[in-house]
Structure 1
Amino acid sequence: MEQTQAVIPQPVASFWQAFLAQAGLPEHTPLYETFAFGDNEADSSALAALVLAGRKTATASLAWEYGPDRPLPRAGDYSLVIDWQGKPLCVIETLRIDLKPFDHVDSAFAAAEGEADGTLASWRELHWQYFERVCTRLGRQASPGMIVVCERFSRRWPALP
């Protein structure tokens, strides 16, 4: 399935263009999405800080959040991370996508997410709470078997020091 070009909000268009120029990529390089982490400002700021520090190299979402209008990301897709107010922070590239039931997410993935103490136990606790909120919004019921989209990524720009 062919993915469509994300609409680039005007406030971040110059950031995206600067990334393309720095990376030597053509202007028509597709942008998968522009997004802020989490579902509230405090979590968004904390998660973005982990990415900017190089500690967070993975993120998780529910398969139920995707569909015909929002296909799953694929290896090689670029996304632009913004803060809660819409300010561009960095560009990440998807490296790998794995679909796993919630209760099959492993400790290596939990550590790559870089949150809390990096353990699988803390990952499960934090993500269960988050996924319950997502499920409520989607009219779904959280369960240990719900499919999690485990995305590994690399921060591409600005480069880590």
Structure 2
Amino acid sequence: MNAETLWADYCAAIGESGPVPPIDVFGDNPVMNDELLDLVLEGTKRATCCLARDFAEGDQPKIGDYWIIADGAGTPRAIIRTCHIELKAICDVDDSFAHIEGEGDKSLAYWKTEHDAYFQRQATAEGFVYDDSMIGICEQFDCVWPQ
């Protein structure tokens, strides 16, 4: 299925309209993309965190934004809608957020280890210095499609 069809099916089912949302993946490799998408589809993963530096001023996610989430092969599989956003230093992420992000054992220790490693890989690839005082966009979402 392509993004246009996925979005059209969702819009027809609920009476929504608008342009096809951006397509993205969770994670930085196809295996991780599939694993994290599965958690979204199960309802376990209901949040994500990225670095605020990844967005130009004014382009940060907003409540009500839709995203289409693809699997590791690039196939659009789900539509999510942002329901809450909080900007905070990565070192200030708490147990509650780690739990609703739904990865691993859902603990803050797991979250911190995995996200520090992820952001360090990003920093190496993009040529910046990562430290956990950087501001993260802690975004909560609902998986709205498939129902």
CA drift of 1:31 comes to: 4.3
**Which stretches in structure 1 are left out of the alignment for 5+ residues?**
1-9
Contact 1:74/1:97 (CA < 8 Å) preserved in 2? Answer: yes
Contact 1:32/1:78 (CA < 8 Å) preserved in 2? Answer: yes
For residue 2 of structure 2, give the secondary structure of its aligned residue in structure 1.
helix
> C-alpha separation between the residues in 1 aligned to 2:91 and 2:41?
28
In structure 2, give the amino acid aligned to 1:102: I
After TM superposition, the runs of 4+ consecutive aligned structure 1 residues lying more than 6 A away are none
In structure 2, give the amino acid aligned to 1:46: E
In structure 2, give the amino acid aligned to 1:58: A
For residue 91 of structure 2, give the secondary structure of its aligned residue in structure 1.
helix
> C-alpha separation between the residues in 2 aligned to 1:100 and 1:131?
15
Partner in structure 2 of residue 15 of structure 1: 6
Partner in structure 2 of residue 7 of structure 1: none
Contact 2:21/2:66 (CA < 8 Å) preserved in 1? Answer: yes
In structure 2, give the amino acid aligned to 1:113: E
Partner in structure 1 of residue 50 of structure 2: 61
Contact 1:30/1:78 (CA < 8 Å) preserved in 2? Answer: no
Identical-residue share of aligned pairs (%): 37
Alignment of 1:28-39 (within 5 A): 29-39=18-28
Measured against aligned partners, the alpha-carbon deviations of 1:26-77 in whole angstroms (never above 9, x if no partner) come to 2xx2444211111101111110000000000000111111115x81110001
Measured against aligned partners, the alpha-carbon deviations of 1:59-104 in whole angstroms (never above 9, x if no partner) come to 0111111115x81110001111111222121110000111110110
In structure 1, give the amino acid aligned to 2:118: Y
Contact 1:12/1:88 (CA < 8 Å) preserved in 2? Answer: yes
> C-alpha separation between the residues in 2 aligned to 1:31 and 1:149?
23
In structure 1, give the amino acid aligned to 2:79: V
Measured on the aligned residues, the alpha-carbon RMSD in Å equals: 1.5
> C-alpha separation between the residues in 2 aligned to 1:91 and 1:119?
26
Contact 1:37/1:48 (CA < 8 Å) preserved in 2? Answer: yes
Give the paired residue count: 147
TM-score by length of 1: 0.86
Contact 1:31/1:77 (CA < 8 Å) preserved in 2? Answer: no
Partner in structure 2 of residue 50 of structure 1: 39
